[in-house]
Amino acid sequence: MDLYQELILEHAKRPHHCGLREPFDGETHHVNPTCGDEITLRVALAGADAHSAADSDRVITDVSYDAKGCSISIAAASMLTDEVIGHPVIEALDTYTAMHAMLTSRGQLSGDEDIIGDGVAFAGVSKYPARVKCALLGWTAFTDALVRAGVDITTLSQQGAKP
Amino acid sequence: MSVSTRPLTDQELTAIRGEFPILTRTVREDRPLVYLDSGATSHKPRAVLDAERGFYEQHNAAVHRGAHQLAEEATDDFEAARETVAGFIGAATDEVVFTKNATEALNLVAYAFSNAAPTDADKDEQFVLRPGDEILVTEMEHHANLVPWQELARRTGATLRWVPLGADGALDLERLGDLLTERTKVFAFTHVSNVLATINPVTELAAAAHAVGALVVVDACQSVPHLAVDVRTLGADFIAFSGHKMYGPMGVGVLWGRSELLDVMPPFLTGGSMIELVTMERATWAPVPAKFEAGVPNAAQAVGLAAAIRWIEGIGIDRIHEHEASLVAHLMTALAKRPWVRVVGPQAGVDRGGAVAFLVEGVHAHDVGQVLDDAGVAVRVGHHCAWPLHRSLGVAATTRVSLGVYNTVADLDVLLEALDRVPVIFGTEPEISSVAASDHGQAEAS
């Protein structure tokens, strides 16, 4: 079974950046209704008060979360924080778009390591349609938290995220 | 159980398995399928598939319409199916209503209550709910026997109350005296829990409900396929079950109700077939059960369900129950030897339905299910449409093994072998204890 890569099991056991922290600019709570997994996720952005700063340039200073779920969903949330903290919003959305494309590819895409980094470890998940939601739970919560932080992600994902 | 119950012989089991084409297929690259998810849906023997196909090939017509020969034959088949279902549960034929599934059957009853609006001149007081009235359910209900009652309470202003879960997977019946009062108009509960497999004392609960004038609705989805159910002695006013969990087709369920209640209940869905007289202004209703079967009914599926019942009767429901009980005992004994597994619900020795749900220490049920799936073992993981029950247990999800008559000790051996890989893959120490695998701890562990 190529689903449980060592890296995934490692993140699931010792998730990075977990726990909810202050300050934050957007918070959301998402559930996976098929299994009852839940995540509360917060994002903090630099320049959140400076309305003159373009959304795309704002840097993600923190992502914190409280999650309960399977190893795939915990590991995905953990790895997400590694991939996006310290990066501008537009880069994070590119990573999201690339992760989403890989995860929903039914095993067709192995993922671009340059864009999604360690996220390529989740390539095996895409062969198990029932588990894709697990891996996406943290990511969809993250994009929702960005929206709640006032970021217009629709225009940003059009600018970036070239396949 | 009857003392004359003979265990199924290996030869009989082999023959039974041979009647299920799907059991010969492989999954996940050449693994023989080990199907332990019959609580979600059972497989269908050839006799059922043939009956459904036979209906379409030989008699297909819209029932209760038309005077041509096919229409007559289709109607006869459909009504004969109703008679077979009635016979199986000890009911009168016109007390059996075919629905889409058990969920629809339960909604039919819930909607009868809110359709009997207090302003309706034809109202029957038994089916009128007002603010101050109460609906009683239990904490172990499947969403199908919870959400319709929540919604009914919302529509009518009645109050929803519930019997909490007690120790060892049983209901906390000491609370029943407080909860069941003359304000209670309906008490809805499951016969057998789809997660815990607890067998509730229906007759006792129904008597208590009737003593305060409440109607009794029983979710019999997990009992009718696995143990003998006779509505004449059960004590319920309504029972609901689905065909697809009892070797029958998907798309057919059954509501049984006492005829004096069905007679005064308003219809749920309205339209063709369920009317007596229609003018441009209004309509009157056909007698039961037609009053509750609007539109062209699921005749082929009803015929398939009747074939499933004849197939069950060919083996004997008591023998099926005994066979599943022996497998449950085998599994409970094996799981008890694994300290990293915690079974929820009644412990070994207590009579239970054909399901065993459990937790694996430190591993989420989804991950357990994935490892089992890799070995060809199909189980259900998650909250099994009983989210409040899982919340009450303090867990997010469980892994559920649920049995059918076609399961064998060999199936359980494959399951156990695969299960033993779980702590190895996830690096959880088999010795650790006490931390429930709610996985709350996982995210907080770092």
Minimum mean pLDDT among A18-27, A111-120, B345-354, B425-434: which range?
B425-434
Which of A33, A37, A55 has its CA nearest to residue A46? Answer: A55
Exposure letters A77-98 (e unless 16+ CB within 10 A, then b): bbbbbebbbeebbbbbbbbbbb
H or E element at residue B231: helix B231-234
Query: Within 10 A of B429 (CB to CB), how many other CB atoms are there?
Result: 10
Which pLDDT does position B442 carry in this prediction?
A: 38
CA gap B147, B131 in Å, rounded: 18
| pLDDT single digits (tens) B71-118 | 999 999 999 999 999 999 999 999 999 999 999 999 999 999 988 766
In this model, does residue B120 exceed pLDDT 90?
no
In this model, does residue B187 exceed pLDDT 50?
yes
| pLDDT single digits (tens) A83-129 | 999 999 999 999 999 999 999 999 899 888 888 888 999 999 999 99
Whether the bond between B289 and the residue before it is cis, its omega within 30 degrees of 0, is: yes
**Residues present in chain B in total:** 446
In this model, does residue A55 exceed pLDDT 80?
no
Which pLDDT does position B414 carry in this prediction?
A: 98
Which pLDDT does position B227 carry in this prediction?
A: 96
Residue B56: DSSP 8-state: I
Class of domain B10-32+316-445: alpha beta
Pull the structure tokens for residue B288. Answer: 């039961």
> Where are the domains positioned within chain B?
10-32+316-445, 49-313
User: Rounded to a whole number, what is the distance in Å from the CA of B108 to chain A's nearest CA?
Assistant: 25
Residues of B with CB under 8 A from a CB of A: 363-367, 370-371, 374, 381-383, 387, 390, 396-397, 425-427, 438-440, 442-446
Which pLDDT does position A51 carry in this prediction?
A: 55
Class of domain B49-313: alpha beta
Residues of A with CB under 8 A from a CB of B: 1, 3-4, 9, 12-16, 18-19, 34-38, 65-72, 74, 77, 128, 131, 134
User: Rounded to a whole number, what is the distance in Å from the CA of B12 to chain A's nearest CA?
Assistant: 36
| pLDDT single digits (tens) B267-284 | 999 999 999 999 999 999
The shortest CB-CB distance from A68 to any of B370, B374, B438 is to B438
Identify whether B221 is a catalytic site residue. Answer: no
Nearest CA in chain A to B366: A70
Pull the structure tokens for residue A130. Answer: 């029932």
In this model, does residue B446 exceed pLDDT 50?
no
CA gap B18, B45 in Å, rounded: 9
Nearest CA in chain A to B375: A1
CA distances from B351 to A81, B165, B333 (A): 48, 17, 14
The shortest CB-CB distance from A69 to any of B439, B444, B445 is to B439
CA gap A98, B375 in Å, rounded: 31
Pull the structure tokens for residue B59. Answer: 């008699």
* Record: contact B364-A128, CB cut-off 8 A: no
pLDDT band at residue B64 under the 50/70/90 scheme: confident
In this model, does residue B444 exceed pLDDT 70?
no
Which pLDDT does position A158 carry in this prediction?
A: 55
- Stated pTM of the model: 0.91
Share of residues in chain B with pLDDT > 90 (%):
87
Exposure letters B196-225 (e unless 16+ CB within 10 A, then b): bbbbbebeebbebbeeeebbbbbbbbbbbb
B438 contact residues in A (CB cutoff 8 A): 68
Start-end of H helices in B37-129: 46-54, 69-89, 102-115
| Mean predicted confidence (pLDDT) in B245-270 | 96
Residue of B434 and B383 predicted with greater confidence: B383
The shortest CB-CB distance from B370 to any of A3, A38, A68 is to A3
In this model, does residue B428 exceed pLDDT 60?
yes
A15 contact residues in B (CB cutoff 8 A): 442-443, 445-446
Which pLDDT does position B67 carry in this prediction?
A: 87
| Mean predicted confidence (pLDDT) in A36-62 | 81
Minimum mean pLDDT among A107-116, B147-156, B434-443: which range?
B434-443
CA gap A126, A113 in Å, rounded: 16
* Record: contact A14-B446, CB cut-off 8 A: yes
Chain A contact probe: residue of B367, B368, B380, B392 with most A CBs at under 10 A: B367
Chain B contact probe: residue of A14, A20, A71 with most B CBs at under 10 A: A71
Query: Which residue among the candidates B112, B152, B385, B401 is catalytic per the annotation?
Result: B385
B375 contact residues in A (CB cutoff 8 A): none
In this model, does residue B1 exceed pLDDT 50?
no
8 Å CB contact between B73 and B59: yes
B442 contact residues in A (CB cutoff 8 A): 12-13, 15, 67-69, 71, 74
User: Rounded to a whole number, what is the distance in Å from the CA of B445 to chain A's nearest CA?
Assistant: 6
CA gap A89, A104 in Å, rounded: 22
Pull the structure tokens for residue B225. Answer: 């396929």
| Mean predicted confidence (pLDDT) in B324-331 | 97
ipTM > 0.90, yes or no: no
| pLDDT single digits (tens) A124-145 | 999 999 899 999 999 999 999 9
pLDDT band at residue B122 under the 50/70/90 scheme: confident
Chain A contact probe: residue of B383, B421, B442, B444 with most A CBs at under 10 A: B442
DSSP secondary structure of B267-313: PSS-STTSEEEE-SS-EEEPPTTGGG--SS--HHHHHHHHHHHHHHH
In this model, does residue A35 exceed pLDDT 80?
no
Which pLDDT does position B257 carry in this prediction?
A: 98
Which pLDDT does position B346 carry in this prediction?
A: 93
In this model, does residue B357 exceed pLDDT 50?
yes
DSSP secondary structure of A7-58: HHHHHHHS-TTBB--S--SEEEEEEETTTTEEEEEEEEETTSS-TTS-GGG-
Which pLDDT does position B146 carry in this prediction?
A: 98
In this model, does residue B440 exceed pLDDT 50?
no
A5-10: long-range contacts, CB 8 A cutoff, minimum separation 24: A5/A121, A5/A122, A5/A124, A7/A75, A7/A79, A7/A118, A7/A121, A8/A71, A8/A72, A8/A75, A8/A121, A8/A122, A9/A71, A9/A75, A9/B425, A9/B426, A9/B427, A10/A75
